[in-house]
Structure 1
Amino acid sequence: MVEIRRKKGQVTIFIILAVLIVGALVAYFTLRGSFGESVPEELLPVYDYYVSCLQDQAEDGVRLLGEQGGRIDVGEFFPGSAYMPFSSHLDFMGQGVPYWMYVSGNNMLRENIPTKTSMENELGEYVSARVGLCDFSDFEMQGFDVFVDDKNVQTAVRINDLDIEVEVLNKINIFKGNSSVVVGSHSFGIKSKLGKFFGLALEVYNYEKANMFLENYALDVLRLYAPMDGIEIGCVPRVFVEENVASELKDALVANIGSIRLDGDYYDLSSKGREYFVEDSGLDVDEQLSFLYMRDWTTRIEMYGDKVARPVGLQEGMGILGFCYVPYHFVYDVNFPVMVQFYDDEELFQFPVGVVISKNQAREAMPTTNGRNIESKVCEFKNQKVDVYTYDTDLESVEARISFKCLDAVCQIGETKLYSGEAVLRGEFPQCVNGFIIVDAPGYAQAKYQISTNEEMLANVVLKKKYNLSLDLGEVDRGVVTFVSSDYSVTVLYPEMDSIELIEGYYNVSVHVYDGSSLKFPATSRKECVDVPESGLSGMFGGMSEKCYDINMPEMDIDFAVVGGGKVQEYITSEDLANSKELNLNVPLFGLPTSIEGLAANAERVDDEIVEVYYE
């Protein structure tokens, strides 16, 4: 009995030993490919090259993540519109970089911010898709056979502040003569600040979203470099050319946005005055940071107000002022992109955001903005279907952009598109009594169509074509030409602007001619007398007495004086415009005034003289 138990014990020991041996063999063959030291020395150069190739692919992916705002796959492109120029991507030196925050073409404020997890996943997918791109041809010429499994690949990535850990799980088989190895796991690290740069970028973005410091700097630039509210001393109209204002504003934005710094130790100020550009964000940035705007980036600058500011002081009854002044007031919409960049000598992480100024005001700061509509509340309730057809004056279909104005709100609706020869938009509008459909198309004047969308569901809108003609004022050296009709107006500062765009219509045409010679009017004094009621009882019964005042006018220097001009009413047909290349205006000339009274008389004479209009 004892012998039987002893034999059973021996059998049990053998079974345990067998299990341990089999387990050890399985573990050995399973894990031996996980460690570099298991690769035979004569095969090690091939394997080292493979790991180096994987590392190169990963580094390319890291570079793309930095250059493309934390994205390798930048996603679908959504275009902007003429009203809101931001697309979903900023074209940066030919490379599309997704906006982290922008206003879409339909006026929705949108966010598109990556996470560290999404970056890790995209980098892993990028490496997995490229394991088969490693070129072993040089080794094959030396007698090696290499087989890489590029079908069953998994890549794990961990992004840290100062490095990135990568593990690629796929098999590589290497053979040469009697030596062979199969390696199934490949781990390596990359020295990179991607994680740190991304964390800093998030902090800067959240600070901008909550405090809108970029918008605040942009408003300062607008107030300093663009005419907003003011008065200029002078006796001639001041003409503001929107294209020139926009150009100067872009140049100012380039210089000022590029000078912005956040509090930190990554810069030295050249002077105490540069402290204005240091934003007290509380972020304590310790890496190189720059804000970038380029004038050729898509930018919208709209200037609202009378582009021709007329002088006060020349009108009848105002000569007592003794001088002239020109008041002006403008309101702006300004939308432009800013690229935020963190960098050192080797790496870059950048992302763009959209800066929005509407009617001289920054957009509302929002802790959460994704999908938020920044239009008026009226525009949020588009529940009335209206079909809009757009034509030219020959009833040919014209594709156009459609917006809708109800009270003070302007809503972006969409665009008419050609279907079966008709340019039509079947869109949804807010319900509104006596609103206006606003239609814009390149080469045509803006058209307005009054409609009550709570009752009407169809609108046929006719657009008038613009014709560009050269402008000749004969012997006039300098003048302001204005064409005003019921639905269109244009002002030209001649000779700086030597052409004019007109549409068919009935115009009030006015021309003011100025001489640039400096005039000095000496100080004068004169007496003015008026009848005033007498004091006391006599005044109660209508008694009047004469009171006289001395009016002293100081010496005045006038840079420009009205020396000619006139007005006319003229109906201009589309045939006149289509068959002509030049518009000639024959303008009466008066000569230089010698006194302030003569200056006022010349200004009044413009209303009495006739301008003759000729076509060539």
Structure 2
Amino acid sequence: MKSGKSFGDDLSNPTRSHARNLSTDYSRVTCSPTRDALFSQANSSPQIVPSQDIYANHFFGKYLSKKAQVSIYIIIAIILVVLVVFLFTINRNVEDGQIPQELKPVFDYYSECIEGEARTAVNLAGAGGGRIFIKDYVPGSEYAPFSSHLNFLGSPVEYWYSLEGNGVIKENVPTLNDIEDEIARYVEEGVRNCDFEYYYSQGFGIQLGEPTADVSILENKVEVSVDSSLSVSRAEQSASKDSYKIEVDSKLGKFYNLATGIYNEEMEKAFLENYAVDVLYNYAPVSGAEIQCGPKIWQTREVMDSLKTGLQENFQTIKLKGNYYDITKKEREYFVYDKSTDEAVNFLYFKDWPSKVEIYGDGVDDELMMGEPIGTAAGMGLMGFCYVPYQFIYDVQFPVMVQLYDKAELFQFPIVVIVDKNMPRNALSGETIVEEEESDLCEFMTQDLEIHLYDANLNKVNGNLSYECFNQKCRLGESIDGVLRTPAPACVNGYLDVQAGGFAEKKELVSSNEQSFVEVILERERKVELELKVGGKEIGNEIAIVSFARDDGKITTIAMPEQKEIKLSEGSYEVKVYVYGNSTITIPESTKTQCIEASRGGLLGLFGSTKEECFDITIPATKIDSSLVGGGVLNTYLLDSELEKGKLKISAERLPRPDSLEKLSENFDSFESKHLYLEFDEN
């Protein structure tokens, strides 16, 4: 708020010296002539005054004395009028910018300091998605690896749209008033540190009042007003100024309006999710079938890496309709989204940013994704071929930085793009978000739990604990000396998820509304090297699929010889080994007749009458590249003392190499009766 200035305040300023000089000059005027002086002026020579004139002289002297007093009052009034006019002129000159030349550098420096702080604040607000002062950091979780900020080139930028650690959607879009307030706060804090040291050393007296800033963001400029009294004096000169107005040329207002337009388009249309789904189907196996009699295998980590690479490369090419790019090939038009802009816009994602890719389906684990062949069982060979169908479900979440820019300025904000079960997320309205926030179980930690963690020898274990209820996962914390006392949400048949280094993940069924004390025994997880021989020989160029299925449903699979190590913990397992080798089987071209019921033409067809129509289907010749040549099955219990040795030798029986579909089917039939032999050895 602009501070007022009273007349008394002005007299207290250094300008008071001018008033003293004027007063001193006027005080030298002789205002009270003496009686003797008056008579000496009236008579040049001494005379004897008659007695009758004494009264007249006394009266005349008294009259002159009153006249002199009136003159004094007139002179004082003149002095006051001149002083007021003088001070008014000084103030008017300061407000008009007519500061004494000798004092002007100090005022110019302060104005430049304000402008510098304002310009810095505008740039920071643009780079921070409208935020300058970052809120407290909120970490991500296993459910959603996104914290409250995206670290971009070392600077944290708050998400406009994200998933919290418990899976609840959060919007955090600043308003234009929010941005103005942050810029004003930054300017107020910054101008307090304007360095006048040089001017102090030059003999200037400087007094600076508390600053108050007001900011208005317009389309192509930012107006900053600062109320801050600055008084400067030096020698016999002094001046003061109370307010400063700065304009920063900036597209902050325009960029913000464009950014919110893009954001609203994404919320309503989910166009970034649609691009992500297209990338998913082009860079990862989703669904399909391969004509082969061996399993179709993908490395899980390679699939995830390929998908992230595809997202990185494709999202950098997405543009909005405008003239800030050139399209050299017609197929690139696919990446131009139908929303017009007259500024440059980028969409960025980097594969090393926090991302989540989860893959579900039959034959999926942390190491392998595998499609099992169909057509190899007894009697199935009569179909004429075998094939591998596969269908995998993906949940993908990743951050995208949206940038609007020109040669001088940048405005950017991050959002999280969500693909849910191979589909783009539903466009979410504000009402939906509020409903989800109200049902956030993790905000209502009303039940007290005391959790103790032990290993198989009842030694205390430290681990990270979460509690799953319905589709939400709440982080509870980390145990200290094997114990965690923590509040948890009320839930029936929830799961306590425990993760500890060197131990297998454990999920314990816990009803928090009934139990307050929980003990969990964790099994050691051992890294074991596998050595496989088939028919007493190394597998060479053949491929072996080795899987360990625990009785709790956890399946761990590796593909040898590319992979040789596996992590196992004590428990009961079904161990299976499939060995596939080169095949010479060729399925010749064949023709099959397919018949269907078709609607009859004419009037009968109107009443639902049908007829059988048959047509021939030609199946082209197909070569089977690999076939089952060995393996077996074993149900066993693996002790921790055995796994601790670090090496497991597996021996499997070899099957005859098939040269026809019938013999291939025979191999699959006899596979279940073939046994495996396990032997642990010191690594």
Q: Distance in 1 between matches of 2:499 and 2:274?
A: 31
- Name the aligned partner's letter for residue 289 of structure 1: V
- How far residue 241 of structure 1 moved from its aligned partner, in angstroms, is 2.6
- Name the aligned partner's letter for residue 39 of structure 1: I
Structure 1 residues 280 and 554: alpha-carbon distance in aligned structure 2, compared to 1, 3 A threshold: closer
- Alignment equivalent of 1:595, drawn from 660, 672, 683: 660
Superposition TM-score, scaled by structure 2 size: 0.76
Instruction: Give the equivalent residue in structure 1 for 2:181.
Output: 121
| Contact persistence 1:234–1:325 (CA under 8 A) | yes
Structure 1 residues 96 and 380: alpha-carbon distance in aligned structure 2, compared to 1, 3 A threshold: closer
- How far residue 437 of structure 1 moved from its aligned partner, in angstroms, is 4.2
Instruction: Give the equivalent residue in structure 2 for 1:346.
Output: 408
CA shift digits 1:460-484 (9 cap, x unpaired): 3333332112222251132110011
Unmatched segments (≥5 aa) in structure 1: 1-12, 526-551
Q: Which range moved further: 382-391 or 297-306? A: 382-391
- How far residue 33 of structure 1 moved from its aligned partner, in angstroms, is 3.5
Helix, strand or coil for the counterpart of 2:402?
strand
- How far residue 347 of structure 1 moved from its aligned partner, in angstroms, is 0.5
- Alignment equivalent of 2:573, drawn from 500, 507, 510: 507
- How far residue 453 of structure 1 moved from its aligned partner, in angstroms, is 5.8
Q: Distance in 2 between matches of 1:524 and 1:194?
A: 68
- In the alignment, structure 1 residue 521 sits paired with structure 2 residue 586: yes
Instruction: Give the equivalent residue in structure 2 for 1:469.
Output: 528
Question: After the TM superposition, which residues 217-616 of structure 1 pair with which residues of structure 2 at under 5 Å, given as runs?
Answer: 217-281=275-339, 284-306=340-362, 307=364, 308-368=370-430, 372=434, 374=436, 385=447, 387=449, 389=451, 391=453, 392-395=455-458, 396-405=460-469, 409-418=470-479, 421-430=482-491, 432=492, 436-441=495-500, 443-451=502-510, 455-474=514-533, 475-477=538-540, 478-487=543-552, 488-515=554-581, 517=582, 519-521=584-586, 523=588, 555-578=621-644, 580-590=645-655, 592-615=657-680, 616=682
- Name the aligned partner's letter for residue 413 of structure 1: C
Structure 1 residues 382 and 39: alpha-carbon distance in aligned structure 2, compared to 1, 3 A threshold: closer
- How far residue 361 of structure 1 moved from its aligned partner, in angstroms, is 3.2
Q: Which range moved further: 496-505 or 597-606? A: 597-606
Structure 1 residues 466 and 239: alpha-carbon distance in aligned structure 2, compared to 1, 3 A threshold: farther
| Contact persistence 1:390–1:400 (CA under 8 A) | no
Q: Which range moved further: 236-245 or 387-396? A: 387-396
Q: Distance in 2 between matches of 1:574 and 1:498?
A: 19
- How far residue 74 of structure 1 moved from its aligned partner, in angstroms, is 1.3
Structure 1 residues 240 and 330: alpha-carbon distance in aligned structure 2, compared to 1, 3 A threshold: same
- Percent identity over the alignment is 35
- How far residue 93 of structure 1 moved from its aligned partner, in angstroms, is 1.2
Unmatched segments (≥5 aa) in structure 2: 1-73, 365-369, 591-617
Instruction: Give the equivalent residue in structure 2 for 1:532.
Output: none
- How far residue 510 of structure 1 moved from its aligned partner, in angstroms, is 1.0
Helix, strand or coil for the counterpart of 1:599?
helix
Q: Distance in 2 between matches of 1:563 and 1:244?
A: 27
Helix, strand or coil for the counterpart of 1:600?
helix
Helix, strand or coil for the counterpart of 1:66?
helix
CA shift digits 1:547-580 (9 cap, x unpaired): xxxxx997541222222212222211112222x2
- How far residue 252 of structure 1 moved from its aligned partner, in angstroms, is 0.9
- In the alignment, structure 1 residue 92 sits paired with structure 2 residue 145: no
- Name the aligned partner's letter for residue 490 of structure 1: T
Structure 1 residues 148 and 215: alpha-carbon distance in aligned structure 2, compared to 1, 3 A threshold: farther
Q: Distance in 1 between matches of 2:207 and 2:341?
A: 44
Instruction: Give the equivalent residue in structure 2 for 1:190.
Output: 248
CA shift digits 1:109-133 (9 cap, x unpaired): 1121212222122112211212243
Q: Distance in 2 between matches of 1:472 and 1:23?
A: 104
CA shift digits 1:46-101 (9 cap, x unpaired): 43233222212211111110111101101111111111112111111111100111
- RMSD of aligned Cα (Å): 3.1
CA shift digits 1:508-565 (9 cap, x unpaired): 11111122x352436499xxxxxxxxxxxxxxxxxxxxxxxxxx99754122222221
- How far residue 18 of structure 1 moved from its aligned partner, in angstroms, is 10
Helix, strand or coil for the counterpart of 1:41?
coil
Q: Distance in 1 between matches of 2:446 and 2:176?
A: 43
Q: Which range moved further: 63-72 or 439-448? A: 439-448
Aligned residue pairs total: 566
Helix, strand or coil for the counterpart of 1:110?
strand
Q: Distance in 2 between matches of 1:182 and 1:329?
A: 78
CA shift digits 1:172-195 (9 cap, x unpaired): 344444443323322221111111
Instruction: Give the equivalent residue in structure 1 for 2:111.
Output: 51
Q: Which range moved further: 420-429 or 496-505? A: 420-429
Q: Which range moved further: 105-114 or 258-267? A: 258-267
Q: Which range moved further: 244-253 or 263-272? A: 263-272
Q: Distance in 2 between matches of 1:305 and 1:384?
A: 36
- How far residue 39 of structure 1 moved from its aligned partner, in angstroms, is 1.9
Q: Distance in 1 between matches of 2:404 and 2:264?
A: 15
Which structure would you say has the larger Rg? 2
- How far residue 147 of structure 1 moved from its aligned partner, in angstroms, is 2.5
- In the alignment, structure 1 residue 155 sits paired with structure 2 residue 213: yes
- In the alignment, structure 1 residue 62 sits paired with structure 2 residue 122: yes
| Contact persistence 1:68–1:96 (CA under 8 A) | yes
CA shift digits 1:437-477 (9 cap, x unpaired): 44445544333333556655554333333211222225113
Structure 1 residues 166 and 555: alpha-carbon distance in aligned structure 2, compared to 1, 3 A threshold: closer
